Structure 1
Amino acid sequence: MYRATGIVTAILVAAAALAAPAEIPLLNPSFEGALGQNGVPEGWTPYGGGETLFSLVDGAADGARALLIDDPDPAGEGGLMQDFPVQAGENVRVRVSVRAVQEGSSSGAYLQLRF
């Protein structure tokens, strides 16, 4: 069976043009909070469909824990999302740490921003 699996630690930082960088108030950006009753990290919303599973594991690039995403469906996609405020004219800098796990696929990881 095909499995896309990876560990993700996400940190999003926005900087206004010509201003000092300001942190975006993401909830649980380094996945230190618990998983909710729906199996999703606090502050995050699942997207996509299928059987995507989320778990918190040791070995994070930032903080103590990282998010393990296990997506067994090669035809679909699943992940997490979170809305955050951005004003017109602001520059957005995004930093994400991704580590593939041995039993994962070579499909890679994707980061998507929508404005």
Structure 2
Amino acid sequence: MKHKVEMLEEIAIETNAMVIALTESHLRIDILEAEIGMVEFQAYRADRSEGKKKGGVIVYVKRDIAARTRVISCGSNSVVENVVLHVSSINLAIVTIYRPPTCKLAEFK
């Protein structure tokens, strides 16, 4: 996993990415921040509920703007995962949601 994170960070630095938002992160509560951390980015994550194998979201925000980033919502309700952030310095909302293919519309609402 660390190799994938390092590769992702290299690409982000090369392309001057400000935000990286990923779904299907497959992270679990026992995976530590140190294992998925990036030097230049702050991670915000919502892992799948216990017993669920797929899903989850993670959002990496470049550290120079992460200090001005507020978490509006973050979590899992055992159906969907979400991370919603607001970057005040540029008035940017970042919304990342994972809705599994098997999720019925009524559950999603």
Question: Fold match, TM over 0.5?
Answer: no
Scaled by the length of structure 1, the TM-score of the pair is 0.25
Structure richer in strand, relative to its length: 1
Q: Which structure is larger by alpha-carbon Rg, 1 or 2?
A: 1
Scaled by the length of structure 2, the TM-score of the pair is 0.26
Structure richer in helix, relative to its length: 2
Q: Which has the higher contact order (CA 8 A, sep 6+)?
A: 1
